[in-house]
């Protein structure tokens, strides 16, 4: 069950390559648009939220409690999608989420700025002048770079975060797909018991977090869930014993959870007016 993640600079054809690869190999395909349907069970998810649209949040957006919920939901969606079967995941920082997985091929597509600008002009049927197209490219790079710093505290152009870098300046889509398909046949890109267990654990922990943070009946400060073979450990702070017990009950009801180790701490709100 290989997983291919594709980060892409605007105009580098990463989206088209991802689609073509999924079609050729009959892999499932996920990007930020399709993610919305995949995580709809967790309540309203804003299509233009920074975590979904792959943009950097403004100062005021960062103060919104929905930022954390959206980040958890995105992580839950990507992990859940990746663990189910052969998959191509475009964007969403998938390469950072899948690091350390032997069955993941983490790639990035890029191209010289001049090439990318010309492709943006062509995509808009020549209705953009070169200066405007160049600004579109620069703005996209700033937004996607800011998104990765915000979500993963990383530099998205650091090549050490990828297994393969595809410069599409002179590489056609079918040629790029050929290279990726060939690489996926290598024994090095194969699931192991360790990597399969790791993705199962990460997916379950993320799902527990998403269920808890989307539950209006409880608030957990600094929520963190980890999982190991179905045993989920909860960490963070709640206000009352009842909240602590309720969180454990909700987590225990998530499909795949065998037991809950409840490390939630009781932290009453500070007294005011004294």
Question: Long-range contacts made by residues 182-188, C-beta under 8 angstroms, separation at least 24?
Answer: 183/105, 184/2, 184/4, 184/25, 184/105, 188/102
pLDDT in tens, 53-79: 888 888 777 777 778 888 899 999 999
Mean pLDDT of the chain: 90
| Per-residue model confidence (pLDDT) at position 272 | 54
pLDDT in tens, 87-136: 999 999 999 999 988 889 999 999 999 999 999 999 888 788 999 999 99
| Per-residue model confidence (pLDDT) at position 273 | 52
DSSP for 32-58 reads HHHHHHHTGGGS---TTSHHHHT-PPP
The 10 Å Cβ neighbour count of residue 145 is 16
Q: Is the distance from CB of 13 to CB of 168 less than 8 angstroms?
A: yes
Q: Is the distance from CB of 234 to CB of 137 less than 8 angstroms?
A: no
Extract the tokens encoding 82.
């990746």
Give the model's confidence band at 274: pLDDT under 50 very low, under 70 low, under 90 confident, else very high. Answer: very low
Sign (positive or negative) of CA dihedral 23, 29, 31, 36: positive
| Per-residue model confidence (pLDDT) at position 48 | 84
Q: Helix, strand, or coil here: 188?
A: coil
**CA–CA separation, 169 vs 184, rounded Å?**
23
**CA–CA separation, 107 vs 2, rounded Å?**
13
**CA–CA separation, 52 vs 63, rounded Å?**
17
Q: Is the distance from CB of 88 to CB of 184 less than 8 angstroms?
A: no
Higher pLDDT, 50 or 204: 204
What is the average per-residue pLDDT within 251-258? 94
**Residues with Cβ < 8 Å from 92, sequence gap 6 or more?**
30, 31, 32, 35, 54, 74, 78
């Amino acid at each position: 069950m290989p997983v291919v993640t594709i980060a892409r600079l605007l105009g580098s054809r990463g989206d088209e390559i991802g689609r073509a690869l999924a079609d050729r190999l009959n892999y499932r395909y996920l990007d930020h648009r399709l993610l919305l349907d995949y995580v709809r069970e967790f309540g309203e998810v804003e299509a233009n939220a920074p975590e979904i649209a792959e943009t950097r949040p403004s100062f005021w957006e960062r103060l919104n409690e929905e930022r954390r919920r959206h980040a958890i939901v995105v992580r839950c969606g990507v992990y859940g999608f990746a663990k189910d079967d052969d998959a191509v995941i475009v964007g969403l920082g998938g390469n950072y989420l899948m690091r350390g997985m032997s069955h993941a091929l983490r790639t990035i597509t890029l191209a010289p700025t001049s090439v990318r600008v010309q492709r943006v002009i062509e995509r808009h049927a020549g209705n953009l002048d070169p200066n405007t197209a160049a600004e579109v490219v620069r703005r996209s790079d700033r937004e996607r770079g800011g998104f990765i710093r915000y979500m993963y505290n990383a530099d998205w152009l650091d090549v050490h975060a990828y297994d393969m870098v595809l410069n599409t300046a002179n590489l056609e889509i079918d040629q790029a797909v050929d290279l990726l398909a060939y690489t996926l046949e290598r024994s090095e890109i194969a699931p192991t018991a360790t990597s399969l267990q790791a993705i199962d654990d990460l997916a379950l922990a993320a799902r527990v977090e998403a269920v808890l943070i989307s539950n209006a009946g409880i608030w957990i400060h600094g929520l963190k869930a980890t999982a190991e073979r179905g045993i989920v450990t909860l960490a963070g702070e709640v206000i009352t014993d009842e909240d602590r017990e309720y969180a454990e009950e909700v987590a225990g009801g998530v499909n795949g959870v065998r037991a809950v180790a409840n490390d939630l701490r009781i932290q009453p709100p500070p007294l005011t007016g004294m």
